[in-house]
A and B are shown apart, each in its own frame.
Chain A
């Protein structure tokens, strides 16, 4: 393998890894607020991409993306209000079944609205064949957009959780729900906010990646599996670990093409998921002690 090819693999790995990380962060936000895994997270990514493609027919690209993110955000909040808010202390199994059910529901609705066709947003700048030369590597401008927007998003999220009142309230709820209520924080509203926020993040991820990976009514599920793997690999609930784990998985997948057929790419993610669940369920960066105290 020559050096140029090596870096080409790295770039591809970073691109996919970033998307996995974005999906994993969506998982983590809801996990932190509620202690559950929202298996409909991948559907938020699909909804964002699909809505943006439809809106782009009459709106310029930036406003179409923005509107798609807002619409998905509202969908996320509605899902929480309609299906989750009124449950009184639901068991983990019940929540898993509800979110899996929701993901099937959203997928079927998407099939009715958009059909089976494969869609994509146009490249944000340039075209599918344009590239920027960075060192010895040719990089699609969309890759820069994906990595750049995701980086800004992670920075904004970190600011939100550490320095704003709503962000601190959300962290307080995940640290100790009863104590948060005793401080006057409405824990139920924080859960709704967490669904809205992670829907918005998923949708934005879906928009920025759709020119490269395309979007289809059922494209959320594979992304959800990858995102889930990354969330587990990094340690559930830890968003910075998710970024590291996402990049790791993306790069591993990308290099796997070198040693085995591309069709086996997904084997890497699933194998990692299984190995981690068997060997170190708390994740690479998670603390074992904390994981042992969690219900799930």
Chain B
């Protein structure tokens, strides 16, 4: 579904991604883990078209999208739930969702809007209750649900999520991960970027580890959970202390 080969990208003179290659198959949850500043967000922003690729290729559904602007990539069915939620805070919850369905409108499927709204409200009943409220007045968890709902309104085939658990209370983080899992059960494909590596690997099929702009490790989620380097670097397990005992 998504194939990336030798991708390079960055901001101005700063080169962030170095020869990144990865892929996502239909129906998978793939997670990318890594420390702050490793290039996770840059990778997602480049795939979604907010940043232009410098070299290499990004192929989504057989089409090269590396040099396509964001508004065209989303039309192909590749949606990003951006870092820090980025809801339209001065607009109502319902307006946010309607704007998410704008790509459907562009595809001449605007009659699917009520069905899309019903689906998102089914997934997130709290958004239905807050329909007329301004998005900026929602709590962090509700805003995250709205951001996910907005992306879902466009009926994407691939949903990319950038740190959906960032800044949320542990209980809500659990809800968000349950939702990601449910999205997959409904046949969606998810590319998940997370700092919360343990939680992400538990729900994912496969994972990639990114460090200073390079993919340094990849494999199935179980293998990665068992990998000692990953455990030490990202899962917070102190192996040295354990062997000393």
Contact = CB atoms under 8 A, between A and B. Distances in A.
Contacts, number: 68
Contacts of A187: 71
B6 interface: no
B69 interface: yes
B54 to A, nearest CB: 16
Interface residues of A, number: 17
Interface in B71-91: 71, 74-75, 79-80, 82, 86-91
Contact of B154 (A172, A180, A183): A183
A165 B74 contact: no
A85 interface: no
A165 B105 CA distance: 10
A178 B69 CA distance: 11
Nearest to B105: A165
Nearest to B96: A172
B82 A169 contact: no
B39 interface: no
A172 B82 contact: no
Contacts of B183: none
Contacts of A288: none
B154 A171 contact: no
Contacts of A175: 88-91
B189 interface: no
Contacts of A179: 82, 86-88
Interface in B86-106: 86-91, 95, 98-100, 102-103, 105-106
B48 interface: yes
B82 A184 contact: no
B86 A184 contact: no
B70 interface: yes
Interface in A175-198: 175-176, 178-187
A184 B95 contact: no
A53 to B, nearest CB: 40
A185 to B, nearest CB: 6
A147 to B, nearest CB: 29
Most chain A CB neighbours (cut-off 10 Å) among B48, B71, B75: B71
Given A178-B50, A178-B82, A184 B102 contact: yes
A100 B75 CA distance: 38
A75 to B, nearest CB: 26
B150 interface: yes
A119 B70 CA distance: 48
B114 to A, nearest CB: 16
A49 B99 CA distance: 37
A183 to B, nearest CB: 5
Given A178-B82, A179-B88, A184-B102, 19 more contacts: A165-B102, A165-B105, A171-B90, A171-B95, A175-B89, A175-B91, A176-B87, A178-B86, A179-B82, A179-B87, A181-B49, A181-B69, A182-B48, A182-B82, A182-B86, A183-B74, A183-B100, A184-B71, A184-B106
12 contacts: A169-B99, A172-B88, A178-B70, A179-B86, A180-B88, A181-B69, A181-B71, A181-B74, A182-B70, A182-B74, A183-B100, A183-B102
Interface of B: 48-50, 69-71, 74-75, 79-80, 82, 86-91, 95, 98-100, 102-103, 105-106, 150-151, 154
